[in-house]
Amino acid sequence: MELATIQDWTESQVLLKYAEARDVKYRVYRDRGTLFQEICDVDDTPIHTLELPDGMKLDKGSYEVLLRYVLLDIVAA
């Protein structure tokens, strides 16, 4: 396995709908050429791993925005 860390574990409080918030942590890594964003609760319980499209290496702020949209989608499901 060829893992390369793009952004190490970062804790974040994500604001959801109706003034709710969720404390999570996430990391961004590349595995054999594919980019992933892995999201967990702060207690290390996995929430979701998102495969990012080719060429979608972003800055830190953009990963935070993407994190919010992923969590909103998961909470709505």
Task: Tell me the pLDDT of the chain (77 aa) as tens digits.
Answer: 678 999 999 999 888 777 788 899 999 999 988 899 999 999 999 999 999 887 776 777 788 888 888 888 876 65
CA distance 10 to 24: 8
Could you tell me the pTM of the whole model?
Answer: 0.82
Q: Judging by DSSP bridges, how do beta strands 3-15 and 46-52 pair with one another? A: unpaired
What pLDDT does residue 45 have? 94
- HEC letters along 32-58: CCEEEEEEEECCCCEEEEEEECCCCCC
3-state secondary structure of 72: helix
User: Biggest alpha carbon distance in the chain?
Assistant: 41
Which residues lie across from 22 on neighbouring strands? 14
